[in-house]
Structure 1
Amino acid sequence: MSLIKNLIKEPEIKSKAKNDSGNSDEEKKPKPIIKSALDLQRLKLEKLMKNPDKPVIIPEHRKEKDFMQSVPTFVRNVMGSSAGAGSGEFHVYRHLRRKEYARQKMIQSKSHQELLDEEYQEKLEQNRRLAEEKTAKKRAKRLKKKGRAKRTKQSNPKELVTASDDDKSNDSESETETKNTDSNVKNEEANEVNTKEKKEN
């Protein structure tokens, strides 16, 4: 929020300085109105581009405090079991309790993160395995097709026919077959007629 205020205040200060110098004829720059995140981002970029030589400080990712790696702390003041004993040391107890809770929370979050990482790795492995199976299946199909084409080429070395020529030849063969069957039927009918005529004579 302070960044937004700084971005808005900057033009106001400059306009006041200009008015003090006696340049009241110049138009006042309107106060920037931030309606969306886009406007805010544009203001930030404009501010950065006003002085491009100025180094930009990019904050590093904050690392979580690792209670396991830190120097082990020893509990020297062990609380007594009788009522009221060590009641003046409650702040010490509260500090130790808070520390222990933080340690337990860190252990749980670490185990949860490890579980998520393990699931992610399993999923990646499964996807890789499925992809390999798919490619192996397609490879086998390609090789089978290639082998069939090679065998047909070796058995019929004179016939170098492409797929389109095969289709054309199949069509022409079917046409000739239909013509042949039609002519055969006509010939048979003619033969029957001839035999009947001979019998009658």
Structure 2
Amino acid sequence: MSEPGPESIPTSADPRSKRPLKRRAVTAQSQQASQIESLFRDPAKEIKLPGSSKQRTSASLPPPPEIVANVQGSSAGAGSGEFHVYKASRRREYERMRMMENEINKETEDSHWAKQREETRRKDEEKTGKNRKRREKRNAAKNKKRGAASNGKELESMAADAPTQGALSGLDGKTDENQSLPADAVEHAETAGLIIHED
């Protein structure tokens, strides 16, 4: 057996070879890696992204022909080139009809949703209005009851607190403005509240 020599190295693997490397089948991973490498070669280069594709509608499709010169059925020209022409026209027409049906379905769903939303909003407003009226009525009754009870208490408290208020203001119930307040009067003045005396 002869030992391996330079002639046993494949030509493509030989560094001295000028022959280009064999191109292998490109996998998705290697393709993405090569795209990323090419992007990183020149980071300052502007990247142009393709524009977002507009959704196709029946209006964007070309209209069907107004005059069809050669009307043919599915068996017309079977086995010849005309069959493919028929298949293509049938596919275009089916696509146009499908798009029209989708648009009609979308419009009906949108109108149904808008009607349902409006109905829900109206019911919510009615319920909120009822609750608001009930709350205002309850608060008015509370305020009325509280007002009647507090008016009597206010009159009593005003009469009872007149000396205290006078002492705090320095008037002692009199209207003489020249009267001065003693220094210890403020400390001994009674304040409104509950006083508990221990026995």
Normalising by the smaller structure, the TM-score range is: 0.3 to 0.5
Q: Which has the larger radius of gyration?
A: 2
Relative contact order, higher structure (CA 8 A, sep 6+): 1
The normalised TM-score by structure 1 is 0.45
Which has the larger share of helix? 1
The normalised TM-score by structure 2 is 0.46
